[in-house]
Chains A and B, each alone.
Chain A
Amino acid sequence: MRLLSSASNRVVLTLVTLAIGSLLLGDFASVQANRIVPGSGFGLFAALGSAWAVALLAALVTLAALALHPSPAGYRGMLLLISLLLLQWPASLAWFIHTQIPADQAQARAGLATGCWSLLFFALLLLIEVRQRLAPAAGWWRLGPLGLLLVTGLLIYSGYLEPLALLREYSSRSAQFWQALRGHLGLVGGALGFSLLFGVALALLIRRQPQLQRSVFGVLNFFQTIPSLALFGLLIAPLSYLAAHSPLLQQLGIRGIGWAPALLALVAYSLLPIVRNTSVALQAVAAEVIESARGMGMSPWQVFSQVRLPLALPVILEGMRITSIQAIGLTAVAALIGAEGFGSFIFQGLGQGAMDLVLLGALPTIVLALLADALFSALARYFQPGVG
């Protein structure tokens, strides 16, 4: 296990300094008596009590000390400390709630302030930094983030985090939340499905008729240039006109606003990554490979399904990764034209000035995008030729 340099790790030192600074200068968490009144902030020591606060700071200072003369053992120690920082994060919130919010106040809610957010943020950056210094990567770096999710899940399940503002917002509209998730995933899935269908067809068409390539990519690039709000807006008038004049479209539930213009725009945006990656992937398969497959007596269909497609799959999956991340963000915007999804919480919250409701929409949108990223990256790795 060789390390890049024996000099002190300035990245860790910088991150630790920033983390300590934001913990000491900003509020750690806040308490609101109800949804309307402004909250009062608690500094680190006031929020967690001196024992917890000092332990937290001591862990950070130890991290910095280890980073002064890093050794392989030192990096393992840092990883351990970072994992502990992540594990204690939800627990510290539960402790804050336990000590500051009386159980009989059903309206009181706890909010996360800058200190709390930046501790999480810098701990994750430290994890990224320290993980890649431990080469070959120590598999147990996952322990911290997985433990964070597990402990958070347990604390939510057991009710200790219930007074958290985000969860108060959730519990007053849990049915809507799951409906928003279904709506969001439905639109993204629909966009992915349709764009895969049309995209692969277009890519095959371009392979047959290369003179079409310029115009197809010209049109698809043009769509990508149009801002989402504009494309959604431009689709409303023609779709309402069509729906008003066609009973069939009305029966299908197609209107000027809602899922129809959203899906149409999402497919328009999704086509470019799919067509581009599919045609690149199909072209990239070496001519010799195809030649030898034919030489083995494979039919054209066999060459396509057994040679071309498996070799192209990782690149196509990368296209689907880009498409799904993009579609998850755009579906949130589509809430403005009445499509279902987490965007409706964001824009409702912005309209009412209810920041916790904004978070209830924004955080799941980000989580969905990160999950899609992880899922399609893992699939692309799995189908990488020679590995799977």
Chain B
Amino acid sequence: MTAGLSGLRPWLAPLAWSLLLLAAVLGMAELEALFRQIQPGTGAVIYQRDSFAQLLLNHLLIVGVAALVSVSLGVAAGILATRAWGRDFLPLVSQVASIGQTFPPVAVLALAVPLLGFGSLPTIVALVLYGLLPVLRNTLAGLQGVPPAVLEAAQGMGMAPRQVLFEVELPLAAAVIFAGIRTTVTVTIATAAIGSTIGASTLGDPVIAGLVNGNTAYVLQGALLIGLLAVSVDSGFERLQQLIAERQGL
């Protein structure tokens, strides 16, 4: 029992944040009296158009789909550009990845509308495009950071190119790639919240509705939940990063 608990200990921070998020999602209505003090003289002080649980689910779904696609595309492109037959594309790909990160996420989100219209789909496309870059950049950095001597040794042992990739290169680059994934997810969560302005239903909805109607209570509710979501996910990633570092240290 004690062994089980001590194994849980490193997960305490992500668990605590997630529980707090869950409590806030389910118990926001209980705080009505508090919000009434912040926003006196207004009929509704708790955001009602959608339940907070629904908004959280939508937000997670959009972030999940976008992050999954951008991580798969980013890692795949990074691998392809560092193989012998894709190396021609490497300089262009790495320069585009670094120039692209200069573009503000909100501008990318806004430019998706003239091309794709309003809604969740354009939001996801914009998030994928923007989220690609940190993963791609870190995949390239991680794979290029593998010492040539290690690669030669692996080839010398008679490993096939596929084996070298999966058993040597990717494990050695894992920590750097994972750091890129963490950045991508953080940016995606934040930008998905702004996606409310282009018609995606996320936890940004109460904030935008509150700002438009001058209802500070709504703004606070949305902002609180977005913040808790970001911190929960990020602390989970931090723990996973520690695990990868520990495994590599062995």
Chosen A-B contacts, 21 in total, with CB atoms closer than 8 Å, are: A9-B88, A125-B92, A132-B91, A132-B95, A224-B186, A226-B227, A227-B190, A228-B194, A229-B193, A229-B226, A230-B226, A233-B219, A233-B220, A233-B222, A234-B223, A237-B219, A325-B102, A336-B208, A358-B114, A362-B111, A365-B107
Closest CB-CB distance, B118 to chain A, in whole Å? Answer: 8
**Which residue of A is nearest B103, CB measured?**
A366
- Residues of A within 8 Å of B114, CB to CB, are 355, 358-359
Task: Give chain A residues whose Cβ lies under 8 Å from the Cβ of B99.
Answer: 370
Closest beta carbon of chain A to B80's beta carbon, Å: 12
Inter-chain contact B190/A228, CB cutoff 8 Å: yes
Q: Are B110 and A225 in contact (CB under 8 A)?
A: no
Contact A362 B223 (CB under 8 A): no
Contacts of A236 in B (CB 8 A): 216, 219-220
Q: How far is the CB of A289 from chain B (nearest CB, A)?
A: 28
Q: Is A256 an interface residue (CB 8 A)?
A: yes
B132 within 8 A of A: no
A346 located at the interface, meaning its Cβ lies under 8 Å from any Cβ of chain B in the complex: yes
Within 8 Å by CB of B104, from A229, A237, A369, lies: A369
Kindly list chain B residues whose C-beta atoms are within 8 Å of the C-beta of A256: 216
Which residues of B sit under 8 angstroms from A173, Cβ to Cβ? none
Residues of chain B contacted by A132 (CB below 8 angstroms): 91, 95
B19 at the interface (CB under 8 A from A): no
A355: which B residues are within 8 A, CB to CB?
A: 113-114
Cβ of B197 under 8 Å from chain A: yes
Most A-side CB within 10 Å, residue of B95, B104, B190, B231? B104
Q: List the B residue with the shortest CB-CB distance to A336.
A: B211
CB within 8 A of A365: which of B96, B106, B186, B220? Answer: B106
Task: Verify if A58 is at the interface (C-beta below 8 Å from B).
Answer: no
Q: Is the contact region of chain A dominated by helix, strand, or loop, or is it mixed?
A: helix
A137 to B222 Cα, complex, angstroms: 51
* B103: A residues at CB distance < 8 A: 366, 369
- The verdict on B243 contacting chain A, using a C-beta distance below 8 Å, is no
Where the two chains meet, the residues of B that have a C-beta atom closer than 8 Å to any C-beta of A are: 38, 88-89, 91-92, 95-96, 99, 102-107, 110-111, 113-115, 186, 189-190, 193-194, 197-198, 204, 207-208, 210-211, 216, 219-220, 222-224, 226-227, 230-231, 234
Please state if A222 and B231 are interface contacts (CB–CB under 8 Å).
yes
State A240–B219 Cα separation when bound (angstroms): 13
| Given A128-B96, A132-B91, A237-B38: A226 touches B230 (CB 8 Å cut-off) | yes
List of A residues within 8 angstroms of B189 by Cβ: 227
Interchain nearest-CB distance for B220 vs A (Å): 6
Contacts of B216 in A (CB 8 A): 236-237, 240, 256
| Interface residues of B, dominant DSSP | helix
**B204 CB → nearest A CB, Å:** 6
Residue contact B230 to A230, C-beta cutoff 8 Å:
yes
Contact residue among B102, B207, B222, B231 (Cβ-Cβ distance under 8 Å from A225): B231
Contact status of A11 and B89, CB under 8 A, knowing A236-B219, A325-B102, A362-B107: yes
Q: What 13 additional pairs, Cβ within 8 angstroms, besides A128-B92, A233-B220, A233-B222?
A: A9-B88, A222-B231, A227-B226, A228-B190, A229-B226, A230-B190, A236-B216, A325-B102, A329-B106, A332-B106, A343-B106, A362-B106, A369-B104
Nearest chain B residue, comparing its CB with the CB of A228: B190
Minimum C-beta distance from A70 to chain B (A):
11
CA distance A329 to B110 in the complex (A): 12
Instruction: Determine whether the beta carbon of A229 is less than 8 Å from that of B92.
Output: no
Query: Are A226 and B105 interface neighbours, CB within 8 A?
Result: no
Do residues B197 and A329 form an inter-chain contact, with CB atoms below 8 A? Answer: no
Residue A337 lies at the interface, judged by CB distance under 8 Å to chain B:
yes
Write out the residue numbers on chain B whose beta carbons fall within 8 Å of the beta carbon of A272.
Answer: none
Residues of the A chain whose Cβ atoms lie less than 8 Å from the Cβ of B92: 11, 125, 128-129
CB distance from B138 to the nearest CB of A (A): 16
Question: Which residues of the other chain, A, contact B96 by a CB distance below 8 angstroms?
Answer: 125, 128
Q: What's the Cα separation between A9 and B89 when bound, in Å?
A: 10
Q: How far is the CA of A226 from the CA of B107 in the complex (A)?
A: 19
Contact between B194 and A333, CB atoms less than 8 A apart = yes
Contacts A129-B92, A229-B193 given: A328-B104 contact, CB under 8 Å? yes
Q: Which residue of B lies closest to A325 (CB)?
A: B102
Alpha-carbon gap, A350 to B204, bound state (A): 15
B186 surroundings in chain A (CB, below 8 A): 224-225
From B223, which residue of chain A is reached at the shortest CB distance?
Answer: A233
With a CB–CB cut-off of 8 A, which chain B residues contact A346? 106-107, 110
- In the assembled complex, A42 has its CB within 8 A of some CB on chain B: no
Are B230 and A227 in touch, CB under 8 angstroms?
Answer: yes
B207 near A366: Cβ-Cβ < 8 Å: no
A residues less than 8 Å from B115 (CB atoms): 114
Residues of B contacting A330 in the complex (Cβ-Cβ under 8 angstroms): 104
A347, CB-defined interface residue at 8 Å: yes
Docked complex: A210-265 residues within 8 A CB-CB of B = 222, 224-234, 236-237, 240, 256-257
A233-B219, A234-B224, A328-B104 are contacts. A358–B113 as well, Cβ < 8 Å?
A: yes
Contact call B223/A333, Cβ cutoff below 8 A: no
Distance to closest chain A CB from B136 (angstroms): 15
- Give the contacting residue for B227; candidates A234, A257, A347, A350; CB below 8 A: A234
Q: How far is the CB of A125 from chain B (nearest CB, A)?
A: 7
What mask results when residues 156 to 170 of chain A are scored 1 for a CB within 8 Å of chain B, else 0? 000000000000000
* List of 10 A-B pairs having minimum Cβ-Cβ separation, nearest first: A329-B104, A233-B223, A227-B190, A230-B226, A230-B227, A355-B114, A230-B223, A362-B107, A362-B110, A233-B219
Contacts of B226 in A (CB 8 A): 227, 229-230, 233
Q: Which of A237, A337, A359 contacts B211 (CB 8 A)?
A: A337
